[in-house]
Structure 1
Amino acid sequence: MAVKRQSTMAVKLDNSWIEQNSDAKNSKTKNNYFDGLKVTGPYKMLFFIITFAYFFEQMDNWNFAFIAPSLMADWGITMADIGKINFAYFVAMTLGGLTGGVISDFIGRRKTFLASIFIFSLASVANGFAPNLLIFTITRAITGFGIFCLMVCSQVYIAEMAPSATRGKWQSLTASIGFIAAPFIGILCSVVIPMSPSAWRHIFLLGGIGLIGFFAGLKYLKESPRWLVAQGKVDEAEQVIEELTKAKVDLSEVASKVEPKVKTMEVIVGLFSPKYSKRTFVILLFVMLTVPASFVITTWTTTLLSQRGLSVDATLTASTLLMFGVPAGCYFASLIADKGGRKIPMAAMAITVAVLSVIFGKLEGFVPIVVCGFFMIGACMALNFITYSYIAENYPTRMRNTSTGIHNAAGRLATSVLQLYVPIVFAHYQFSGVYNLIAIMVCLPVAVLLLWGMKTGRRSLEEIS
């Protein structure tokens, strides 16, 4: 009996070659996950849910920068007390990054993502009902824990779900839309806070609306196929890709190359193994200097402007206008993130932040402060989100979320320590001294990144790892 041979042909989709069986109508194509597949329909819905979660996460993240001066007046607390609240917030963020990274490697990206939304949304409501400074500090810390669980998980989730050619674009584009929350919360605070001494509570209560993202995610959010393949669930991973893209894919080849799961301690040891030690050193140095500097800009500028002599109304107005630099910076990152192997745009943005910080620290007058501050915060956010993509890309699937959590947690831990020293630097060196410190911190790791950092842009995650 004659045996019919199946013929195959090469098909090019968005610059990625796949092999396709041309005989059977329901045949599968061998492909590297989403590489070469178009982002349409249900696939876009996934990124929409991430964007929605980003929006309310960042409402809860940015609101305290606007609320702090009002809280100082309402409760009679000092800049040192604000520093302690921020310290607790970033320590909890550190724990959230570590926990979120480890847990999502074991229970999956989807479950961790949803749990994070649930935690920070409820904690925000609890902030609004806090009766005293101690309870407020605790509930604010829980908010930070949930926020950074989601941030770490979402970085890895987008990196694993987006096509390799546009990974940086989707990372930054979802953020640029979600981070419209920054100017939105500024406008909201400008309207609500002047209503009464305790009107700041209403801002926190609105954070509970983020639970809508939780319930939407329960229905529409899909698990990462890369994580599923790492768990041996190849058929389920192929089904997820088909549901999102309508393409029938064969992941048997990429599944055969997946390395076995490793324990958390093995991941930590692996970070400093000969293969990964150089990239680990480069990333740790970069995040432990640039992340704290970035958060001084985003969390302290409103308070520092109020201490500089601006009225409450002028401070809120200026800070709100500055916040339009947040989505603008994220959008700009989406345009440049995939160029220069990722590390070139990172270096360029770091230098830009340094230059603008020095200028910002010396400016007088409402208009110059707003204009320079807008570009400074825009460059800062572009730097942050290109860095987020870069971190997640440097490690294989089996260690990606845990290693991302460790790196980001290191950055947040350094940030929490710096929060205690910002009031001291301000007391001794005034407004300009704080922003000169920022410039020094973001410049220091640039040479190391350019010399020893990997180029990751427009390369598949499997090739990089």
Structure 2
Amino acid sequence: MSQPPTLDLQSVIDGNKVGGMQRRVLLLCLGVLILDGLDVALVSFIAPSLITDWGISKAQLGPVVTSGLFGLAIGSLVAGPLADRFGRRRVIISSLLFFGAMSAATALAPDVLWFSVLRLLTGIGLGAAMPNATTLVSEYAPTRRRSAMMAITYCGMTAGAAIAGYLTSVVVQIASWHWALVIGGVLPVAYAAAVAAALPESPKFLARRSENHAELAALMNRVVPGMLPADARFTLDEPPAGSALPFVALLTRRFRLGTLSIWIGFIGAFFIVYLMNSWLPILMTDVGFSLTAAATIGLLLQVGGTVGNIAIGWLMDRFGLHRVVGIGMSCAAVMLVLISVAPRDVAVLGALVFVLGMFTNSVATGFPILSASFYPTAIRATGTSWATGIARFGAIAGAAMGTVLVAAGLEYQQVFLALLIPAAVSITAVTVKGRLAVRPAGTAVPDLVTSAPRKLPEEIV
């Protein structure tokens, strides 16, 4: 009796076109990030109503903002190891249910303290959803399309934030800020039912355990219908993680340099993004621009970020992961200098900020793509989630540093020049990652630039 054929799972995915099952996973995970982005942004849009209703100052509202950011960091750090143990699908569904319930419960908060506590819990669920959804997309994607598919998924965050702005403006006029939070809670709970019914588990997660053979075979025949032998078995051509504890494996000798460089670079990127997101409109009004002009410049930053996110995945697939991220942050540094010396004209600054947003937001998207491409399946969710969670502390630091710089009386020119420091840190980190990080076999690996459809390495490091 002949032995059943054994196929490398990634080679099968790489050797076929993106099919209906992969598009389904992409769209469902895009929906997860849209709801994630909606709930993350809701607080910033209802903040004026909170100040009015509770009779508090902007400074007193600080815990409401920071508690959510801390929750996002905690959720990212906790959810990755859980997903590597119990599966990406289960964690995504659980996170939708949890942050939906907590968001709705926040509508009942009577004061800042309770609002902050509930917002912390909401953030934990939100932090768990994003990195696991993008990890799942990466594990269905052909290597040649992985960056593009992940980048499309990340566009859900900015789309969700835009929806949050429109939703809040309508709901607050009709009812109150409480109902915005209720809607922001009901939508992910309802969506969890659709995800439970239609979202499959990661084939790479299933391939790690022999008892999942039948489920994996059925799934792969849906991914590439009619293309596989009926009795085929699948393997993962990957090295072992190096530790039974996923978060410990991230810092083993094999992965340590890559892990630290990803974390440091990601922190620098998030520092810039969150300082600008939090303080750009205020910096613009402080130098004499109208509220409308300042809001327009802030909007252009987000629109530029969305355009950049769409572009970076295609660029990374075509020209190499590290090269694109490094050049992107270098271009962002040039834009920081140009903005600091540009005339105080709304049109000029708006155009420059738009381009700056393209580079900074896309670089922030590029680091989790780097992470997903660097780690093997056994620790991929942990690696991506921990990179995002660690970077959240850069986001917190950026928002806090904005407070310090504004309180010190710095105008936007000085603030933008100060951002050259985290930009330089990020550029250095991604350069180290691209040139010195090593494969499990121990050989240094430069950026790969290829569009070959099959037999590409699992980790592009």
**Structure-to-structure mapping, 1:407-422, within 5 angstroms:** 407-422=387-402
Deviation at 1:355, TM superposition (A): 2.8
Q: Structure 1: which amino acid aligns with 2:401?
A: Y
8 Å CA contact 1:339–1:345 kept in 2: the answer is: no
8 Å CA contact 2:21–2:222 kept in 1: the answer is: yes
Alignment of 1:215 onto 2:193 = yes
Deviates more, 1:180-189 or 1:31-40: 180-189
Distance 1:52 1:131, change over 3 A: same
Query: Match of 1:9?
Result: none
8 Å CA contact 2:76–2:385 kept in 1: the answer is: yes
**Structure-to-structure mapping, 1:341-360, within 5 angstroms:** 341-360=320-339
Cα distance per residue 1:13-49 (max 9 Å; x no partner):
xxxxxxxx9xxxxx89665352222222233111111
> Unpaired segments of 5 or more residues in structure 2?
438-446
Query: Match of 1:393?
Result: 373
Query: Match of 1:378?
Result: 358
Secondary structure at the counterpart of residue 14 of structure 2: coil
Distance 1:120 1:102, change over 3 A: same
Query: Match of 1:98?
Result: 77
Deviation at 1:314, TM superposition (A): 5.0
Q: Structure 2: which amino acid aligns with 1:405?
A: S
Cα distance per residue 1:243-281 (max 9 Å; x no partner):
2331436764624766489432xx344333332222122
Distance 1:261 1:348, change over 3 A: closer
Indicate which of 324, 330, 336 corresponds to 2:303: 324
**Structure-to-structure mapping, 1:46-445, within 5 angstroms:** 46-176=25-155, 179-189=158-168, 195=173, 199-208=176-185, 209-232=187-210, 233-246=212-225, 247-248=227-228, 252=233, 254-255=235-236, 259=240, 262-264=243-245, 267-305=246-284, 315-360=294-339, 364-428=344-408, 429-445=410-426
Secondary structure at the counterpart of residue 445 of structure 1: helix
Deviates more, 1:386-395 or 1:328-337: 328-337
Deviation at 1:332, TM superposition (A): 1.4
> Unpaired segments of 5 or more residues in structure 1?
7-20, 22-26
Residues in 1 aligned to 2:54 and 2:286: alpha-carbon distance in whole angstroms: 17
Residues in 1 aligned to 2:119 and 2:91: alpha-carbon distance in whole angstroms: 20
Residues in 1 aligned to 2:297 and 2:21: alpha-carbon distance in whole angstroms: 39
Aligned residues: 439
Residues in 1 aligned to 2:361 and 2:352: alpha-carbon distance in whole angstroms: 14
Question: What TM-score do the two structures reach when normalised by structure 2?
Answer: 0.84
Identity across aligned pairs (percent)?
Answer: 22
Residues in 2 aligned to 1:275 and 1:312: alpha-carbon distance in whole angstroms: 51
Cα distance per residue 1:184-218 (max 9 Å; x no partner):
3344455566x49x844443333132333211111
8 Å CA contact 1:58–1:182 kept in 2: the answer is: yes
Residues in 2 aligned to 1:421 and 1:77: alpha-carbon distance in whole angstroms: 22
Query: Match of 2:443?
Result: none
Deviates more, 1:122-131 or 1:313-322: 313-322
Residues in 2 aligned to 1:146 and 1:207: alpha-carbon distance in whole angstroms: 13
Residues in 2 aligned to 1:53 and 1:463: alpha-carbon distance in whole angstroms: 26
Cα distance per residue 1:329-369 (max 9 Å; x no partner):
21112321213320011012112222333444566344334
Q: Structure 1: which amino acid aligns with 2:418?
A: L
8 Å CA contact 2:9–2:204 kept in 1: the answer is: no
8 Å CA contact 1:83–1:420 kept in 2: the answer is: no
Query: Match of 2:458?
Result: 462
Residues in 2 aligned to 1:269 and 1:376: alpha-carbon distance in whole angstroms: 36
Question: What TM-score do the two structures reach when normalised by structure 1?
Answer: 0.83
Residues in 2 aligned to 1:457 and 1:88: alpha-carbon distance in whole angstroms: 41
Deviation at 1:153, TM superposition (A): 0.8
